Structure 1
Amino acid sequence: MSGRNRTCVSVDLGGTKLLTAVIDESGAILRREEKPTPVGGGASAVIGAIAASVASLRAAAGPDELPPEGIAIVAAGALDAENGVIRYASNLNFTDVAIGDELKRLTGLPVLLENDANGAAYGEWKHGAGKGSNDCMFITVSTGIGGGFVSGGKLIRGATGSAGEIGHISIDRNGPLCPCGNRGCVELYASGTAIARTVAADIASGARPTGRVGELAGGDASKATSRLVGQAAAEGDAYALAVLADAGSALGFALAGAVHLVNPEVIVIGGGASRIGEPLLGPMKETLHRYGIKAMVESLRIEQAALGGDAGIVGAAALWFDTRSA
């Protein structure tokens, strides 16, 4: 093979957005295409849209570019990654969709399927903030809380491909019921959704003054978001800082337990709510160090994610190249 880099087509299949890109072996994104996911048209429409994007990106290849070897997809939900089947994905209304076989039929390219959080974890480990480490924990703090682990340089999937469900670590066995069926899951306390829900309840009830956050929301509970809380915290608002301190502490407590299980070298934190920064992450770090075993946390690095919304597609491509010989 020449000195040119191998390429693959990488796909981040979301419920609202379909991101497709050609990525080379170095992790560089050569071309990308983004469009709404046609969920209303069913599985055939979604798979057809992916195939169309793949065709478009392949047609735009330069004369010196190696053709893509395959398609690497990251998606949320219950997956049978080995057989390329999305067993259930609520955001896509998919049940038992053989996306790997269908895309291969339409494009002629073999397909790799991976959980979206696992893909992001691998991307940050391979080409992002976790680069150079052997043992990396990735968490995303957004609508929910998800995660993934790379240990000894290998992605940890678990027996059913569900490893890394950090958001469903319970921090209170008598806590509120989570949709997963557990009680007291940390994402009920520390996700962007949970932060917004806390503020919305305070605005609606008037139980405590909501300060600058209430002003930014115009006193309307339905307009409360974690972004507004972060904005108010950046202005030094005491209420916003207190809400984020509670959320960060809950997250840190859960992470202490996760660290005790997998003993990572670095924790990489991504997701929209993580961009609030120190008002959330400071209390998280403090609690993690308070409850974590000293020998396991004293040298632990905590980094903010470097790849942003591209972590999934970069990680999917990296998995393709690392699991398939040239």
Structure 2
Amino acid sequence: MKRRIYSWKTSRIGIDLGGTKILGALVDEAGNVVTSLQLPTFSDKEASQKELLSSIISIINQLIKSAKKEGQTPQGIGIASAGIIDQGTRTIRYAQSLGVKDFSIGKQLEDIFQIPVRLCNDTDAAAMAKWQKNNNNSDSFMYVSVGTGIGAGIMKEGVLLQGAGEIGHMTVNREGGICPCGNRGCLKHYASGPAMEEKVRTGHGRYAEMTMPEIIERAENGDTWCQDVLKEGAHYLGLALVNAVHLLHIKEIALGGGVLQEGEFFLKQVQTYVHRYTMPFMAEGLTVKRSPFKAEIGAVGAACIMR
């Protein structure tokens, strides 16, 4: 097999810190993934920031070893994290899916590895990666990740609107339950993977321990209860996306994250809702599609932000 040729002018490490896994990648100058690896975010629900930091350090050390085998020394580390990010202090101010507050991850990693570290929101990073992979041909779009939580990265006229995509905490039901963020009726409590799993499990019996991949598969095969739950979640997500289109006047929405990796039922419900309820002149030319990029998109974006 012919060995792939990488663009080795510089290399960087990108880390995507999510609610269920930490994914790290060694990325070349052109944004290609040379090698990647992942660990579970937590070994248990009560894990501390110290344990989280330890896992990240382990991944970075392994990626540095991989780089050295290629004769490379990574020029920086980019961290993409869910939650509210303070880029100035490189601190995760609040990430519900990680269970952390005021986590000064950037400074701690820079002190340990003695190379520059930047911190960004995970969906901002994914949007940056999409922009680079498309050779900057699409200047205004929104990348939306639906998984453990829901977030968005927004590119408007070639400018990344950093920190502006907390769509998972957009109120979609003013009579809804209280979110740990302090808001009421947040989108993530209706359209995220855990929210839809919880709703399906109220069906009891065979549904009592059903996971999201099983729910998606059953919906594809005609299970009406799973279809009803996915349809409700898709409509709440569609409502948020319509509001975003009306606010931002964007023409492209790329959908990613674990919930949208497989199956067509949920995706088609979202597409139908958005096109039905978007104002006609704003709906002209509007596309809502599954993102073609792989799971490494957040880590690649984090590495790209190090430029």
TM-score range, shorter chain: 0.7 to 0.9
User: 1:149, CA displacement in angstroms?
Assistant: 0.6
Q: Where does structure 2 lack aligned partners over 5 or more consecutive residues?
A: 1-6
| 2:174 corresponds to | 173
Contact conserved, 1:33 with 1:53, CA < 8 A, in 2?
Answer: yes
Larger radius of gyration: 1
Q: Deviations over 1:21-75 (max 9, x none)?
A: 2101211111223334567774455445434443432333367654321111112
Cα 1:240/1:16, change in 2 over 3 Å:
closer
Cα 1:190/1:25, change in 2 over 3 Å:
same
| 1:18 corresponds to | 22
1:39-118 aligned at under 5 Å gives the runs 42-61=48-67, 65-90=71-96, 92=98, 94-118=100-124
Give, in whole Å, the separation in 2 of the partners of 1:21 and 1:277.
Answer: 27
- Give the alignment partner of residue 238 of structure 2, picking from 240, 252, 264: 252
AA aligned to 1:274 is: L
1:158-169 aligned at under 5 Å gives the runs 161=163, 163-169=164-170
| 2:4 corresponds to | none
| 2:160 corresponds to | 155
| 2:257 corresponds to | 271
- Which is helix-richer, 1 or 2? 1
User: 1:257, CA displacement in angstroms?
Assistant: 0.6
Q: Where does structure 1 lack aligned partners over 5 or more consecutive residues?
A: 205-218, 322-326
Contact conserved, 1:133 with 1:265, CA < 8 A, in 2?
Answer: no
Whether 1:141 aligns to 2:146 is yes
Contact conserved, 2:200 with 2:210, CA < 8 A, in 1?
Answer: yes
User: 1:16, CA displacement in angstroms?
Assistant: 4.9
1:104-253 aligned at under 5 Å gives the runs 104-127=110-133, 132-157=137-162, 161=163, 163-201=164-202, 203-204=203-204, 219-253=205-239
Contact conserved, 1:76 with 1:89, CA < 8 A, in 2?
Answer: yes
> Over the residues paired in the alignment, what is the CA RMSD in angstroms?
2.7
Give, in whole Å, the separation in 2 of the partners of 1:8 and 1:222.
Answer: 44
| 1:208 corresponds to | none
Give, in whole Å, the separation in 1 of the partners of 2:51 and 2:187.
Answer: 36
Q: Deviations over 1:179-213 (max 9, x none)?
A: 33333333333222232232222x24xxxxxxxxx
- Give the alignment partner of residue 295 of structure 1, picking from 281, 289, 299: 281
Equivalences, count: 299
Cα 1:242/1:34, change in 2 over 3 Å:
closer
Q: Between the two proteins, what is the percent identity of the paired residues?
A: 35
User: 1:277, CA displacement in angstroms?
Assistant: 3.6
Give, in whole Å, the separation in 2 of the partners of 1:309 and 1:247.
Answer: 22
| 1:209 corresponds to | none
Whether 1:317 aligns to 2:307 is no
Give the TM-score normalised by structure 2: 0.85
